[in-house]
Amino acid sequence: MVSLIELALYNLHQKYGIMLNCEVKEIQPEFGIVETILVTNKKLVFEKEHLERLKRSAAFFSFPLLKGLWNIQPECENCILRLVVYKNGNFDLKYLPLSPPKSNLVTVSDVILDSSNVFLYHKTTYRPWYKEAMREIESGRYYDVLFCNKQGELCEGARSNLFIEIDGIFYTPSLASGLLNGILRQNLIETQKATETKITPELLQKAEAIYCGNSVRGLAQVKLLDK
Range 17-25, long-range pairs (CB < 8 A, 24+ positions): 19/59, 20/59, 20/60, 21/62, 22/60, 24/60, 24/61, 24/118
| Per-residue model confidence as pLDDT tens digits over 37-58 | 999 999 999 999 999 999 999 9
CATH architecture of 105-224: Alpha-Beta Barrel (3.20)
Q: Class for domain 4-96, per CATH?
A: alpha beta
Round to whole Å and give the CA distance between 152 and 138: 26
pLDDT at 219 over 80: yes
For residue 37, the cross-strand partners are 81
Edge-to-edge strands, sheet with 209-214: 154-157, 144-149, 105-113, 218-224, 209-214, 161-166, 169-173, 195-197
CA distances from 105 to 142, 164, 221 (A): 5, 14, 9
Side-chain-facing half-sphere of 179: CA atoms under 13 Å:
31
CA distances from 77 to 74, 91, 164, 169, 181 (A): 8, 21, 33, 35, 27
Segments of the chain assigned to CATH 3.30.470.10: 4-96
| Per-residue model confidence as pLDDT tens digits over 133-191 | 999 999 999 999 999 999 999 999 999 999 999 999 999 999 999 999 999 999 999 99
What's residue 18's pLDDT? 37
What's residue 70's pLDDT? 74
Choose the weakest-confidence range: 55-64, 67-76, 159-168: 67-76
Q: Are 151 and 140 in contact (CB under 8 A)?
A: no
* Model confidence band, residue 69 (pLDDT cutoffs 50, 70, 90): confident
Segments of the chain assigned to CATH 3.20.10.10: 105-224
What's residue 66's pLDDT? 80
What's residue 39's pLDDT? 97
Mean pLDDT in residue range 196-209: 97
83: left (phi over 0), alpha (psi -120 to 50) or beta: beta
* Model confidence band, residue 227 (pLDDT cutoffs 50, 70, 90): low
Cα 212–chain centre separation: 11
Q: Are 224 and 199 in contact (CB under 8 A)?
A: no
| Per-residue model confidence as pLDDT tens digits over 2-35 | 344 444 444 544 443 433 334 444 545 589 999 9
C-alpha torsion sign, points 195, 199, 201, 206: negative
Choose the weakest-confidence range: 13-17, 186-190, 213-217, 220-224: 13-17
Q: Exposed/middle/buried for 150, CB within 10 Å: 0-12, 13-18, 19+?
A: exposed
C-alpha torsion sign, points 103, 158, 167, 150: positive
